[in-house]
């Protein structure tokens, strides 16, 4: 057996996948949940210690013989979270997450200090968005200066898990591109921007490594606490979107992955950097040797979960309710900005339901509007991909939304392209496992393409073709969504 372990540190939970690359079998999977600290000012935080507890819980759920057979580990982590650690590796403060919008003022401060948005796009390829790591670093410096002075390393969530497993601080350039501090064209730190935050900050950023390199080896302490063999290699790892791209086969032009989880993401592989002058698509690097332009919305299943709770519906029942309303929900439109929003850039945004009247005010229409709102957010990104020259031939859908037949078909109908469902739903964990396998087998982009083709399968029964008969209804509903957005967005500036 050639067993590799994929670890996925997500917002809601940590998952582990033990994968036999010889037989293409998942030998075991486990998960353990995370809490979240949420405040009205947009604060969204977790404690890094919770992630370690969750990881150990996952490992303890799996037979020791399977753990002992692992030959390499790959870690996927939620992007953008800021883990400040001291010399001993101890976290100095809670982790401000990707969905934390409380540092919007620091984004403006950093942008102005560096010379404006045009210069940021020219020098780094990205704007300083509230979700990114950069403004969180400045926030800690301003708010907890004494803790900041003790900081040895700036780590991202997957970096922190790598550090805990190996004792080595490194950062893979795919995930690093989500800090807002990387020159994504050249995959190097943008030193002038970093010094504008703190002249000494550059020394606190870990060395950058490539996606097929090793982050280190399992330490004796980590081996004792996890049951993994001491000394086996840990691959570079990457952000959950980068690992999701590997786990869905998004390693070639023309394929787009759409992840429908707490957040909604849409990303595609590119052989060259894609810099969006409007800042709708983030200009990230991939963890496969190329680039990964990406749209991220902060509210996806958030809208359906809250709507479900409001009406006391199960997951299946909200799908049934939504299916009983027609496309366009009889004019009911939802802007689902329950957590603020990243695209459009409305960190102070609020959720709204519009278009209600005495006849369309039904549970079914509101349920459908919550489902449609997430897809409309994705359409903003898909339209931008096309405007920037992408030939989008298919979408590979993952996340909780991919389990919903109505959502899958709705995505195909609204976006106008086939929606394919990977056989392995936990794409980020599989991506981590495949990256570990890639590293074991020597790296190289040709080898990665071969591995993806071999190990990533499509569930043909769950995949969907667009229903062209609904195009007119959805075009009208999307136009209404955009009109309401134009009207209400100024209220949240």
Just list the catalytic residues: 240
Query: DSSP 3-state assignment of 235?
Result: strand
The radius of gyration of the chain's CA atoms, rounded to the nearest angstrom, is 22
Q: How far apart are CA 186 and CA 440, in angstroms?
A: 26
- A 10 A CB-CB count for 273 gives 18
Upstream peptide bond of 394 is cis (omega within 30 degrees of 0): no
Q: How far apart are CA 50 and CA 78, in angstroms?
A: 14
C-alpha to C-alpha distances, 475 to 188, 353, 486, nearest whole angstrom: 42, 19, 17
Task: Return the bridge partners of 5, or none.
Answer: 18, 73
By C-alpha distance, which of 447, 450, 462 is closest to 412? 462
Q: How far apart are CA 320 and CA 364, in angstroms?
A: 8
Q: Are 378 and 474 in contact (CB under 8 A)?
A: no
Q: How far apart are CA 24 and CA 28, in angstroms?
A: 12
Query: Which DSSP symbol is given to 280?
Result: S
E-strand ranges in 190-248 read 208-209, 214-217, 233-235, 238-239
Q: Are 133 and 117 in contact (CB under 8 A)?
A: no
- A 10 A CB-CB count for 351 gives 18
């Amino acid at each position: 057996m050639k067993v590799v372990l994929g670890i996925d540190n997500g917002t809601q939970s940590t998952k582990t996948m033990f994968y036999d690359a010889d037989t293409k079998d998942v030998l075991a999977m486990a998960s353990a949940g995370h809490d979240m600290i949420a405040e009205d000012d947009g604060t969204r935080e977790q404690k890094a210690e919770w992630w370690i507890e969750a990881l150990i819980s996952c490992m303890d759920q799996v037979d020791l013989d399977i753990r002992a057979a692992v030959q390499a580990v790959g870690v996927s982590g939620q992007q953008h979270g800021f883990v400040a650690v001291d010399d001993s590796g101890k976290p100095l403060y809670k982790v401000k997450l990707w969905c934390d919008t409380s540092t919007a003022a620091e984004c403006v401060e950093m942008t102005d200090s560096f010379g404006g948005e045009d210069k940021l796009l020219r020098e780094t390829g990205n704007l300083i968005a509230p979700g990114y790591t950069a403004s969180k670093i400045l926030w800690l410096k301003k708010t907890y200066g004494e803790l900041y002075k003790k900081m040895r390393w700036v780590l991202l969530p997957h970096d922190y898990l790598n550090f805990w497993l190996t004792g080595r601080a490194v950062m893979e350039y795919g995930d690093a591109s989500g800090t807002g501090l990387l020159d994504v064209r050249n995959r190097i730190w943008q030193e002038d921007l970093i010094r504008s935050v703190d002249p000494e900050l550059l020394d606190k950023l870990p060395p950058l490594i490539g996606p097929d390199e090793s982050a280190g080896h399992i330490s004796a302490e980590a081996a004792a606490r996890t049951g993994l063999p001491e000394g086996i290699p840990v691959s570079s790892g990457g952000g959950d979107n980068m690992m999701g791209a590997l786990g869905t086969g998004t390693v070639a032009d023309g394929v787009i992955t759409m992840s429908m989880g707490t957040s909604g993401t849409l990303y595609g592989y590119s052989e060259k950097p894609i810099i969006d002058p409007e800042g709708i698509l983030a200009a990230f690097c991939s963890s496969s040797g190329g680039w990964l332009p990406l749209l991220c919305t902060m509210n996806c299943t958030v809208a359906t979960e809250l709507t479900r709770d409001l009406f006391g519906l199960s997951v299946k029942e909200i799908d049934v309710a939504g299916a009983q309303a027609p496309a366009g929900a009889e004019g009911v439109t939802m802007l689902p900005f329950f957590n603020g929003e990243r695209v459009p850039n409305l960190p102070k945004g609020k959720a709204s339901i519009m278009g209600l009247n005495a006849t369309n005010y039904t549970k079914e229409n509101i349920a459908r509007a919550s489902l449609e709102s997430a897809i409309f957010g994705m359409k903003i990104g898909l339209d931008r991909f096309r405007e920037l020259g992408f030939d989008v031939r298919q979408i590979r859908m993952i996340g909780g939304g991919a389990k919903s037949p109505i959502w899958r078909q709705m995505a195909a109908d609204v976006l106008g392209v086939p929606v394919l469902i990977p056989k392995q739903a936990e794409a980020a964990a599989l991506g981590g496992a495949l990256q570990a396998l890639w590293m074991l087998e020597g790296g190289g982009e040709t080898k990665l393409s071969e591995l993806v083709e071999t190990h990533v399968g499509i569930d043909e029964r769950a995949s969907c073709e667009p229903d062209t008969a609904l195009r007119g209804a959805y075009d009208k509903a999307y136009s209404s969504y955009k009109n309401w957005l134009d009207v209400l967005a100024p209220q949240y500036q």
